[in-house]
Amino acid sequence: MPADPVDDLLRRLAPQVLGALVRRYGHFDTAEDATQEALLAAATRWPADGRPDDPKAWLITVASRRLTDLLRAEQARRRREDTVARRLPPDRWLAPAADTAPADADDTLILLFLCCHPSLLPAGQIALTLRAIGGLSTAEVARAFLVPEATMTRRITRAKQRIRDSGLPFAPPAGAERAVRLDAVLHVLYLIFNEGYASTSGPRLDRADLCAEAIRLARMLHESTDDPEVAGLLALMLLTDARTPARTGADGELVPMAEQDRRRWRGEQIAEGVALVSHALPRGAVGPYQLQAAVAALHDEAPSIGATDWPQIVALYELLLEVADNPVVRLNHAVAVAMARGPHAGLELLAGLAADRRLAQDARLPAARAHLLELAGEPEAARQAYLAAARRSMNLPQQRYLHSRAARLR
């Protein structure tokens, strides 16, 4: 059996298996270890022995056995039912079997809200969820946060310990508690989608599985709430993902938006995203996801890069800076200013980001600077900036694209 289909299936099933174990047994940190060992066993055995009839049940069985072994080895013999019994009425003492999904919720979504519990610091909420739900490595999570890998390892470890020590029930939050967790959940889904759309490392430009999972979870949230920011995030994902078919060439090379065949963009997703953001924007306070979705809609509805309404995009980014100021938003704003007012105006704004340590190892800043220098008619400076961006990038298609741009300017 080819390795890729197995890898894709395991990545999709991982949060469901972890959710089943946590729901049945508790012990979040140990359950994650057991899930990872079950996934490793599957990745080793399934290609040789064949995929089982029920892959999810197979994984849950193996992970449950391994979880039991781990708990015994750690002398953690308290059963989850004893802990739950101290908090819940007697009619809720018995938990369903690990491979039996609750009737009213998806385990993955419940797990998502568990990881975003207020007892965790925001950075820990997001980091833990990216590991548990998104399947990202610690290094990938660290790059998403623009922090060193060692720092992220400590954050994830602390978050697991808090979940373990809290005795939280595995159940969906309700009322005010749900609202408190929603901001962190949206941020998590946003980062998972971004990692899927533009992978920080590896041989592929994107990871369609992560994009699909983020969109699936965003849809579930949208169906359960009328929050306009949830609609905005779903719209942003759909409008951005709609461009995927045109982002790579025949040999897997990166194709920048200015050179993409827009006829290959997914029209149904664009229409759905535009409808979502158009409905959300007039409904009160406008948040960052709605604003980013509005920017994406302007890109997707434009027939060409030259026909894009850049002044309106600049205005939207300036609103976004008021509600969610960060270096990546400032970088995007600078590029939009360059397209609306000329490359030198954008370069001046980018110069102010050069000292921001959060972008010290990020390829986006020198790549944007290279593009604007090229537009400004400074080929040698642009070439050096492209090479600097290539040195920072850990994604092979991005590296090849940046090197090819530099080679054209020799």
Nearest to 241 by CA among 220, 217, 210, 263: 210
Segment 263-286 mean pLDDT: 93
Contact criterion met (CB below 8 Å) for 207 and 215: no
Residue type at 229 in one-letter notation: E
Of 175-184, 231-240, 381-390, least confident by mean pLDDT is: 175-184
Segment 341-349 mean pLDDT: 97
Of 36-45, 67-76, 191-200, least confident by mean pLDDT is: 67-76
Which residue has 């059996």 as its token pair?
1
CA–CA dist 229, 54 (Å, integer): 37
Segment 280-302 mean pLDDT: 94
Whole-model pTM: value is: 0.77
Give yes or no for residue 241 having a pLDDT over 50. yes
- E strands, 35-131, are none
Give me the percent of the chain exceeding a pLDDT of 90.
43
Of 9-13, 71-75, 108-112, least confident by mean pLDDT is: 71-75
pLDDT in the model for residue 397:
92
Give me the percent of the chain exceeding a pLDDT of 70.
89
CA 256-141-34 angle, to 5 degrees, is 130
Contact criterion met (CB below 8 Å) for 293 and 276: yes
3-class SS of residue 169: coil
Give yes or no for residue 24 having a pLDDT over 90. no
Complete DSSP assignment for 125-144? HHHHHHHHTT---HHHHHHH
pLDDT in the model for residue 22:
81
Instruction: Pick 27 or 339 by higher pLDDT.
Output: 339
CA–CA dist 150, 146 (Å, integer): 12
297 DSSP β-pair partners = none
CA 190-196-198 angle, to 5 degrees, is 100
Token digits of residue 348: 């001046």
CA 224-83-88 angle, to 5 degrees, is 55
Arithmetic mean of pLDDT over the chain: 85
pLDDT in the model for residue 81:
44
pLDDT in the model for residue 40:
79
Instruction: Pick 26 or 399 by higher pLDDT.
Output: 399
295-341 pLDDT tens trace = 999 999 999 999 999 999 999 999 999 999 999 999 999 999 999 99
Nearest to 133 by CA among 11, 39, 5: 11
Segment 79-97 mean pLDDT: 48
Give yes or no for residue 168 having a pLDDT over 70. no
- The values of phi and psi at residue 248, to 5°, are -130, 150
Segment 26-36 mean pLDDT: 78
| Confidence band, pLDDT 50/70/90 cuts, at residue 3 | very low
Give yes or no for residue 74 having a pLDDT over 80. no
Give yes or no for residue 83 having a pLDDT over 70. no
Residue type at 389 in one-letter notation: A
Nearest to 159 by CA among 177, 141, 144: 141
Give yes or no for residue 266 having a pLDDT over 60. yes
Segment 232-237 mean pLDDT: 98
182-212 pLDDT tens trace = 888 898 899 889 988 988 877 888 888 889 8
97-131 pLDDT tens trace = 555 544 444 578 888 888 887 777 777 887 888 88
How far is the first Cα of the chain from the last one, in angstroms, to the nearest whole number?
46
Cα 410 to the chain's mean position, in Å? 37
Which residue has 């994650």 as its token pair?
32
pLDDT in the model for residue 106:
58
pLDDT in the model for residue 137:
79
254 DSSP β-pair partners = 248
| Confidence band, pLDDT 50/70/90 cuts, at residue 1 | very low
